[in-house]
Structure 1
Amino acid sequence: MHAGPDPVADRRFDAYEMAVAARDAGLRAVIFKSHEYPTVPVACLLNRLVPDFTVFGAISLDNEVGGLNPVALEASAKMGAAKVWMPTYAADHWSTTYYGKPGIGVLDDKGALVPVVHDILDLVEQYDMVLGTGHLSTVEQLELVSVARKRDLKTVVTHADMWIPVEAQVAMARQGAFIEHAAVGCMPASFGWSFDQVAEAVRATGPGASILSTDLGQTDNPAPAEGMRMFIAAMLRAGFTKDEVELMVKVNPGRLLGLGD
């Protein structure tokens, strides 16, 4: 989930309101994501202020933290960050597409990961973090996932429906990566994919390799918990069983975050 304060976008809730609303709606835990700053310190405070609920902190390796910066990553990891995303808004694929300027790439001229990415993967392994692929291109994500899964790292393909073809999702799922499907993309104010498209992709990879998230918190979208309810309802209407939906909403993310089943 996204929450305020945020330097570039209006958010529906501040971080405290986000946590309380999610808990009161029946959620067990959330990851607090910011594209611009590490959220671990905020998460630590929220976990003292909001009982019977868990907020996990994380970091995105964007320009605001120095990009592919192992030092920034390790600082967050030492404080308990549960997840790291590769570059999102600063990723070359995103930046060239939406801002018309080059951004951060992770491959060299031969298509191999640049050395600093291996340093980042070392830290992911050392601190048992979840690796998110961020807003990298499909080619970059395929190579990143291949290397990460050979190291048995916990890997999640970030809101894959945005631009990752289903055949690439299947290829990464076969290597043991989880494929994340985010409700935000199905909202009218967002990216224009449909719940039916998500259902088709989930059928291709299987619920066992899938995670349903929201990525919500924007002012022009439903509140995150409501978005999750809508997502669950849509997947049930699409023909998935209750057990399959629970696998994608509860079990798979719970295991990645050490919450059990």
Structure 2
Amino acid sequence: MWLPQQRKAGPMGAVPPQAMRGDRMPVEQTRTPGPGWRADELFAGLTSGQFSCVRSCLRAEVVDIERHDRVLQRTSVPSMIGVLIAGTALDTQIREDGSTSLVDVVEVGDLFGDGWDSLSEGTNRAIVAASPGRAILLDSHRLIHGDSGCSVRPVVVENFLRCVMKKHHRLREHFDLVTRRSLRERLSSFLLGAAERNGYRQFTIPISRAELASFLNADRTAVSRELARMRDESLISFHRNSFALHDLIRPGNNGHSEATAARSGPGYATRPGKTSRHSEQAQSVQPTCRQSRLGG
């Protein structure tokens, strides 16, 4: 059984100096990733016996994380990359004035930290946990330039390239999203993409309203105002981070709706103290909906 090293990530504002360089933090104990972990894309094709090679050849370690922990940070030359095996994290860019912008939402099975070595000098990036979870960190230098005699490394490198291509496609979708002209178009594309990836007309997103605004390159107040308008028009229902789509139209499709009509179903309840001419549709969603991958 694979027994990678494990450490505990530190809270925001308390990052050890070696983590500021993208290096790993001190190791506290050793344990397995745990049941239900899903780093299968990166380690596809490996037997359980070969996982022991990952620890020695690629210096793999498992990190338990809590909300707001900085899992990895880059200020100079990084040497670590990671894959999330539980929870949700945010790939953020930190500006000189301390403000941040959201580059990507990292979910289970996603890579992070890859490509940081190609960033310009002085660019500061950090992976911040949005929820409790767990990640596996690997030495990127050993992954690319490791021992040629290691039987595990070529398989992981091939899987790594596939994961990078998948991430590139996701970032391209994000670019297409934020370049849409209006905030209504960005919100509609985001919500429809989340519903399609989830496979359900009701879902929960793993980020806050402020983080959603940053992801859409918009002001938080403007996002809240536009969501309220969409709710009043009976296009969507929402309760905090839980959403349901009613008659939402994908932007750019000449007015043809691609959304599902969610007029009834489990998880719905009438909004207390409010009725409208579309009361059958304008219902709030209880915060028990399934979480979805972001996209648009």
* TM norm. shorter chain > 0.5: no
Greater relative contact order (Cα < 8 A, sep 6+): 2
Q: Which has the larger radius of gyration?
A: 2
Bigger helix fraction: 1
Bigger strand fraction: 2
Q: TM-score, normalised by structure 1?
A: 0.29
